Amino acid sequence: MSSKVALITGAARGIGLATAKLMQADGWQIAMLDRDTDELAIALPQVPGAVALPYDVSQPDQVDQAMSDVFDQFGRLDALVNNAGVADFGPIEQTDFQRWRTVMETNLDGVFLCSQAAIPMLKASRGCLVNIASISGLRASTLRVAYGTSKAAVIQLTKQQAAELGEFGVRANCICPGPVRTKLAMAVHSQEIIDAYHDAIPLNRYGSEAEIGHAIAFLCSQKASYITGQILAADGGFDSTGVGLP
Ligand code: NAD
């Protein structure tokens, strides 16, 4: 059994919870961070022995507290999965500044803050970062101005992290999931969008939480020890086709 420790943000449900379960099955000790304390309490028993971190990734003091909790509980951190995210669906002219900021605060600031706070522990363990962006960060489409821009920034942030941290043996990679039927996605995916995705994706279907989780677990594992600075689309082939969405 590995004694390595993974901190997964946004772990109370969806892709984050699936990843926590898969990585625990691979032998990782798990810390589950989420600001939704009710959902976190429901999720925690599904990952026996995991530590709950009831914090908000967009708040610097709470992020510092989370890292301090991890150090107190485990004394180390080997992998940080920056998965917490919020969705937004709106055109440029209807995206007021507060709405823009709300998306950036979690999707971009949260990745920056958590990564920065984790770096001392990751350097000590020669660990890794996996950032969860989106196909919306790879390809523009209407109505995704804030969400898509936040995810494109996470892609670039990953490359910056890989460039800076490689000399310390710390790897940084990024997963761009295609559509997955989580609470986040289904709040904004109309039937028209669901149908369009089915048509545009070569595998003709949504992905599952576990299919994204397996890709994350691989990048965190020693099997990926020579992989850093990479952007992996786990998207059923969507990004490779160039077919547009409404
Ligand atoms: P989800 O809504 O099921 O889970 C997201 C979790 O993040 C929730 O538990 C939520 O409480 C938590 N969270 C949100 N903001 C937070 C904050 N500021 N601090 C702490 N926790 C916070 O969504 P999901 O689909 O599992 O999304 C996980 C990641 O995958 C997100 O980054 C999302 O953008 C990305 N993604 C999802 C899809 C999809 O189709 N589901 C596609 C591409 C990318």
Query: pLDDT tens, 72-106?
Result: 999 999 999 999 999 999 899 999 999 999 999 99
Element (H, E) at 17: helix 14-25
User: Per the confidence metrics, is the pTM higher than 0.90?
Assistant: yes
Distance 182 CA to ligand 1 centre (A): 8
> Given this model, what pLDDT does residue 245 score?
62
Ligand 1 atom closest to 177 (CA) = 43
Per residue, the 3-state secondary structure of 133-199, as one string, reads CCHHHCCCCCCEHHHHHHHHHHHHHHHHHHHHHHHHCCEEEEEEECCECCHHHHCCCCHHHHHHHHH
Asked whether 178 and 234 are in contact (CB, 8 A), the reply is yes
Distance 10 CA to ligand 1 centre (A): 6
- Tokens of residue 34, six digits: 């989420």
Average pLDDT over residues 177-188: 94
Query: Burial level of 246, CB count in 10 A (0-12/13-18/19+)?
Result: exposed
CA neighbor of 30 nearest in space, from 53, 50, 56, 14: 50
- 8 backbone dihedrals φ, ψ, rounded to 5°: -115, 120
Average pLDDT over residues 53-57: 98
Alpha carbons 56 and 42: distance in angstroms, whole number: 18
When pLDDT is cut at 50, 70 and 90, the band that residue 246 belongs to is: low
pLDDT at residue 168 greater than cutoff 80: yes
Distance 144 CA to ligand 1 centre (A): 16
Q: Does 106 sit in the ligand 1 pocket, CB within 6 Å?
A: yes
Residues 6+ apart with CB under 8 A from 82: 9, 57, 110, 111, 114, 115, 129, 130, 131, 132, 154
Q: Which of 15, 64, 139, 144 to mutate to test the pocket of ligand 1 (most atoms within 8 A of CB)?
A: 15
Q: Does 121 sit in the ligand 1 pocket, CB within 6 Å?
A: no
When pLDDT is cut at 50, 70 and 90, the band that residue 1 belongs to is: very low
> Given this model, what pLDDT does residue 96 score?
95
pLDDT at residue 3 greater than cutoff 90: no
Angle ∠(241,90,39) on CA atoms, nearest 5: 90
Distance 72 CA to ligand 1 centre (A): 26
Average pLDDT over residues 54-83: 98
Ligand 1 atom closest to 36 (CA) = 11
Query: Burial level of 36, CB count in 10 A (0-12/13-18/19+)?
Result: middle
Please name the amino acid found at residue 171.
Answer: R
> Given this model, what pLDDT does residue 128 score?
98
> Given this model, what pLDDT does residue 175 score?
98
| Helices 14-25 and 209-220, packing angle to 10 deg | 50
Q: Return the CATH fold of 5-234.
A: Rossmann fold (3.40.50)
When pLDDT is cut at 50, 70 and 90, the band that residue 143 belongs to is: confident
| Helices 110-125 and 145-165, packing angle to 10 deg | 20
| 3-class DSSP assignment, residue 128 | strand
Q: Does 239 sit in the ligand 1 pocket, CB within 6 Å?
A: no
Average pLDDT over residues 22-45: 98
> Which residue has the CA at smallest separation from atom 44 of ligand 1?
134
Query: What is residue 206's DSSP assignment?
Result: -
Over residues 210-227, the pLDDT tens digits come to 999 999 999 999 999 999
> Given this model, what pLDDT does residue 142 score?
87
Q: Across all residues in the chain, what is the average pLDDT?
A: 96
Please name the amino acid found at residue 1.
Answer: M
Q: Which residues carry out catalysis? A: 147
Average pLDDT over residues 46-68: 98
Percent of the chain whose predicted confidence (pLDDT) is above 90:
91
> Given this model, what pLDDT does residue 225 score?
98
Average pLDDT over residues 158-172: 98
> Which residue has the CA at smallest separation from atom 7 of ligand 1?
10
